[in-house]
Structure 1
């Protein structure tokens, strides 16, 4: 989990991965489905790994769709964070989901955690379903 903060305003962004097969989070402000990204589950030797492992992250994030998705999503999330903060909201909960919550969503959340780190808000991220099954 990463945490950054600055100043008295504690706008909080909670970014988390999840598996759709365990249910869509009801308390998220935003949910993104990444099941369109290449699935390492079907690759020999990657099924037992997670999106925290370099081979899986590379497989997902360096694909054409992975690069393009992050190129759109990171600026969109920066905009939404800023807009919600300016609107006086206390924070945002952003869920990123794939089938089981082990590979694609985890890799995306880990990468977004790095891309979105900013001293103007508190950023927390976690993986809801990474240890299931």
Structure 2
């Protein structure tokens, strides 16, 4: 004896409501997935911005501290002091090296051979004698 299940209006209504429930659930899962993806991309972008801002502020603080400290120390030293002259000559040489590198980069980008570096700047300090 085989039993056949007859299609009844109640059974059709139950299957239709089950079908609607599954479609609704699938829609919620799809929208949750897209919302999660958007949230993750937003969080990654904000994390990258925070890391970038932290790196900038760290580099700024270090460079400011080094340069300000050197300039402050130089200004405290007497004019004829060898340490002060060393700071002045070293900073002048650093500026010359920076200018030379920049001009080499600019000229290389244009296809022109780099020029020889400029002569080193020197600072001459003279003392005036005070007569009585």
Shorter-chain TM-score: which interval? Answer: under 0.3
TM-score (norm 2): 0.25
Between structures 1 and 2, the one with greater strand share: 1
Between structures 1 and 2, the one with greater helix share: 2
Higher relative contact order (CA 8 A, sep 6+): 1
